[in-house]
Structure 1
Amino acid sequence: MLLGSVLTLVLTSASFANQASTGQGVLASVVSGGLKQDEAKKIGTALDLIQGNYYEDVDRSKLVDGAINGMMESLEDPYSTYMGKQTAQEFEESIEGSFSGIGAEVSSEDGNVVIVSPIKGSPAEKAGLRAKDIILTVNGESLSGLELNDAVSKIRGPKGSEAKLTVRRSGVSTPLQYTIVRDDVDLETVNAHMEPGKVGVIEITQFSLNTGDRFKEELAKLESEGMKGLVIDVRNNPGGVLSVVIDIAEQFVPKGKLIVQVEDKNKKREKSESKGTGKDYPVALLMNKGSASASEILAGALQQSAGAKLIGENSFGKGTVQTSFDKQMGDGSLLKITIAKWLTPNGSWIHKKGIKPDIAVDQPDYFSVAPINKDKSLEYNMNNTDVKSAQIMLDGLGFKPGRKDGFFDEKTVAAVKSFQSSAKLSANGVIDAKTAEALENALIEHIRDPKYDNQLNRGIDEVRKEIAAAASNR
Structure 2
Amino acid sequence: MLKKRTAVFLVIAAMLFGGLFTMVVSELAGTEQTGEAQGLLASSLAESQKASGQADQDETRKLQVALDLIEQNYYKDVDRSKLIDGAINGMMGALEDPYSNYMGKAAAEQFEDSISGSFSGIGAEVSSEDGHVVVVSPIKGSPADKAGIRAKDIILSVNGESLQGLDLNTAVSKIRGPKGSEAVLQIKRAGSEQPIEYVIVRDDVDLQTVSARMEADGIGVIEISQFSENTGKRFKEELKKLEDQGMEGLVIDVRNNPGGVLSVVIDIAEQFVPKGKLIVQVEDKDQKRQKHVSGGSAKPYPVTVLMNKGSASASEILAGALQQSAGAVLVGEHSFGKGTVQTSFDKPFGDGSLLKVTIAKWLTPNGSWIHEDGIEPDIKVEQPEYFTVAPIDKKNTLKFDMNNNDVKSAQIMLEAIGFEPGRKDGYFDQTTEKAVKSFQSKHKLEADGVINSATAEALETVLIEKIRDPKEDNQLNRGIAEIRKEIAAKASKH
TM-score by length of 2: 0.93
Q: Quote the residue 2:89 is aligned against.
A: 69
Question: Per the alignment, in what secondary structure is the counterpart of residue 282 of structure 2?
Answer: strand
Q: 1: CA distance between counterparts of 2:143 and 2:239?
A: 28
Unaligned runs of 5+ in 2: 1-11
Q: 2: CA distance between counterparts of 1:121 and 1:418?
A: 32
- Structure 2 residue 339 is matched with structure 1 residue 325: no
- Structure 2 residue 462 is matched with structure 1 residue 445: no
Is the Cα contact below 8 Å between 2:305 and 2:330 reproduced in 1? yes
Q: Quote the residue 1:337 is aligned against.
A: 357
The structural deviation recorded for 1:15 is 8.6
Matches within 5 A, 1:234-249: 234-249=254-269
Is the Cα contact below 8 Å between 1:101 and 1:159 reproduced in 2? no
Q: Quote the residue 1:394 is aligned against.
A: 414
- Structure 2 residue 305 is matched with structure 1 residue 292: no
Q: Quote the residue 1:350 is aligned against.
A: 370
Structure 2 residue aligned with 1:463, among 483, 486, 493?
483
Q: Quote the residue 1:215 is aligned against.
A: 235
Off by >6 Å, runs of 4+ in structure 1 = none
Is the Cα contact below 8 Å between 2:13 and 2:176 reproduced in 1? no
The structural deviation recorded for 1:73 is 0.4
Q: 1: CA distance between counterparts of 2:310 and 2:129?
A: 16
Aligned residue pair count: 473
The structural deviation recorded for 1:120 is 2.6
Is the Cα contact below 8 Å between 1:2 and 1:91 reproduced in 2? no
Structure 2 residue aligned with 1:85, among 82, 105, 109?
105
Q: 2: CA distance between counterparts of 1:57 and 1:15?
A: 39
- Structure 2 residue 22 is matched with structure 1 residue 9: yes
Structure 2 residue aligned with 1:372, among 378, 385, 392?
392
Is the Cα contact below 8 Å between 2:283 and 2:362 reproduced in 1? yes
Q: Quote the residue 2:44 is aligned against.
A: 30
The structural deviation recorded for 1:329 is 1.1
- Structure 2 residue 218 is matched with structure 1 residue 198: yes
- Structure 2 residue 62 is matched with structure 1 residue 42: yes
Is the Cα contact below 8 Å between 1:310 and 1:359 reproduced in 2? yes
Question: Per the alignment, in what secondary structure is the counterpart of residue 34 of structure 2?
Answer: helix
Structure 1 residue aligned with 2:383, among 363, 378, 381?
363
Is the Cα contact below 8 Å between 2:343 and 2:358 reproduced in 1? yes
Q: Quote the residue 2:33 is aligned against.
A: 18
Question: 1:50-105: CA deviations, max 9, x gaps?
Answer: 11111111111111111111110000000000000011001101111111122211
The structural deviation recorded for 1:234 is 0.1
Question: 1:348-390: CA deviations, max 9, x gaps?
Answer: 0000000000000000000000011111110111111110000
The 3 A distance-change label for structure 1 pair 24 and 310 is: farther
Q: 2: CA distance between counterparts of 1:363 and 1:294?
A: 23
Question: 1:13-47: CA deviations, max 9, x gaps?
Answer: 47975321x68844464132377211111111111
Q: Quote the residue 1:183 is aligned against.
A: 203
Q: 2: CA distance between counterparts of 1:85 and 1:427?
A: 55
- Structure 2 residue 454 is matched with structure 1 residue 434: yes
Could you tell which deviates more after superposition, 97-106 or 277-286?
97-106
Could you tell which deviates more after superposition, 25-34 or 464-473?
25-34
Letter of the structure 2 residue corresponding to residue 413 of structure 1: E
Could you tell which deviates more after superposition, 423-432 or 302-311?
423-432
Letter of the structure 1 residue corresponding to residue 109 of structure 2: Q
Question: Per the alignment, in what secondary structure is the counterpart of residue 412 of structure 1?
Answer: helix
Q: 2: CA distance between counterparts of 1:465 and 1:72?
A: 50
The structural deviation recorded for 1:123 is 2.4
Q: 2: CA distance between counterparts of 1:23 and 1:83?
A: 22
Unaligned runs of 5+ in 1: none
Letter of the structure 1 residue corresponding to residue 272 of structure 2: F
Q: 2: CA distance between counterparts of 1:217 and 1:117?
A: 26
Question: 1:159-194: CA deviations, max 9, x gaps?
Answer: 111110110000111111110111112111000000
Is the Cα contact below 8 Å between 1:399 and 1:418 reproduced in 2? yes
Is the Cα contact below 8 Å between 1:117 and 1:130 reproduced in 2? yes
Question: Per the alignment, in what secondary structure is the counterpart of residue 240 of structure 1?
Answer: coil
Q: 1: CA distance between counterparts of 2:244 and 2:38?
A: 33
Is the Cα contact below 8 Å between 2:254 and 2:315 reproduced in 1? yes
Is the Cα contact below 8 Å between 1:15 and 1:243 reproduced in 2? no
Is the Cα contact below 8 Å between 1:25 and 1:270 reproduced in 2? no
The 3 A distance-change label for structure 1 pair 446 and 124 is: same
Is the Cα contact below 8 Å between 2:140 and 2:255 reproduced in 1? no
Q: Which protein has greater RCO, CA pairs closer than 8 Å, 6+ apart? A: 2
Q: Quote the residue 2:274 is aligned against.
A: 254
Letter of the structure 2 residue corresponding to residue 9 of structure 1: T
Is the Cα contact below 8 Å between 1:29 and 1:264 reproduced in 2? no
Is the Cα contact below 8 Å between 2:13 and 2:175 reproduced in 1? no
Q: 1: CA distance between counterparts of 2:459 and 2:370?
A: 39
Letter of the structure 2 residue corresponding to residue 358 of structure 1: D
TM-score by length of 1: 0.97
Identity %: 71
Letter of the structure 2 residue corresponding to residue 12 of structure 1: S
Letter of the structure 1 residue corresponding to residue 33 of structure 2: N
Could you tell which deviates more after superposition, 397-406 or 144-153?
397-406
Question: Per the alignment, in what secondary structure is the counterpart of residue 30 of structure 1?
Answer: helix
Question: 1:391-414: CA deviations, max 9, x gaps?
Answer: 001111111111111111111111
Letter of the structure 2 residue corresponding to residue 175 of structure 1: P
Question: Per the alignment, in what secondary structure is the counterpart of residue 197 of structure 1?
Answer: helix
Q: Quote the residue 2:441 is aligned against.
A: 421
- Structure 2 residue 493 is matched with structure 1 residue 473: yes
- Structure 2 residue 270 is matched with structure 1 residue 264: no
Question: Per the alignment, in what secondary structure is the counterpart of residue 378 of structure 1?
Answer: coil
Could you tell which deviates more after superposition, 386-395 or 32-41?
32-41
